[in-house]
Structure 1
């Protein structure tokens, strides 16, 4: 698909080692903040680990990672009007990342919304629910998913600098975006 397009006006490359460090810092910071809120709400601190809590944590983490990627796809559909058949989800074992992508161009405004939808739905919502019901396992999972959105935040940060109507093409294999000024594609 990229071969059919003109040269992009900008290529946004994501530095995975930097994103990994940022992810770790966000995860730790979020976990500390959420646990502090949990302690204030519950007015006590208790912590226990069992084999079942570890199993549930692993299952929950896998489920939330899958949901994270599915929410990207839903965002592509809702905000970018991308047909379901043009979407791809998978795991890149070499890079160690799960991904959701499309071969269709989306406006910068639409892809930014699609980038942040999983953060809200698999990070913030579980945190709110975990705090509301006093579930430390859910609070821990939400911190991991919030930190796990660091790559999405990095892309969002770069895209925010560009006009809303510019068009974005996601690279199907690499953590990078090709960005086209609207008038570039009119030529």
Structure 2
């Protein structure tokens, strides 16, 4: 019979993550524009009210999709049922979140953490380079940088066996990691 055990806790320092996000967003934006200029042998930026509005609307949609892809990852990789998923916005922390009440094997959690990076960050960037769209490049840079917290948690989870169980905190940017065979409370 599995034993109860104290978990290892992985917690994000939101101030540190926000600072890293800001610098990474700036660096990727400038870098993407420079690379795009070299690829297409021209550099131009067009700023208009409609471009800004399109960027803001697209950014909000992609942030929501980022969280939806976490949920899809929980379902695909962790075999979580739909009714075990939660999605929302924490206004106090200023973040959107997706979580599951079901503990996942570490291997499934790591895949679920990085799925949105690829789908909402890398894919728009590749399309932006292909069609020479500064808006898509900027969106890609913002969403790639926005995945910095996911990468931090992924890095920390690499220290544990793939069979460890990982429980996502429903209110805070924190993960609880349990040894294999440990009974996990779902409260």
- TM class, shorter-chain normalised? over 0.9
Find the counterpart in structure 2 of residue 6 from structure 1: 4
Match in the other structure for 2:83: 85
Give the distance between the partners of 1:38 and 1:49, measured in 2 at CA.
17
Instruction: Please give the per-residue CA displacement for 1:27-84, whole angstroms capped at 9, x wherever unaligned.
Output: 1221122111110111011111111001101110011001100000010011000001
What are the Cα deviations for residues 97-130 of structure 1, in whole angstroms up to 9, with x where unaligned? Answer: 0000000010001000000000000000000000
Residue aligning to 2:74: 76
1:120 alignment partner in structure 2: 118
Cα distance in 2 for residues equivalent to 1:93 and 1:8: 30
List aligned pairs for 1:46-85, cutoff 5 A. Answer: 46-85=44-83
RMSD: 1.3
| Runs of at least 5 residues in structure 1 that lack an aligned partner in the other structure | none
Aligned residues: 182
Taking the aligned partners of 2:145 and 2:26, their CA distance within structure 1 comes to 8
Contact 2:5 2:183 in 1 (8 A): no
TM-score (norm 1): 0.94
Using the size of structure 2 for normalisation, the TM-score is 0.94
1:111 aligned to which of 109, 112, 125:
109
More displaced 10-residue stretch of structure 1: 32-41 or 110-119 = 32-41
Matched, 1:185 2:176: no
- 5+ residue gaps, structure 2: none
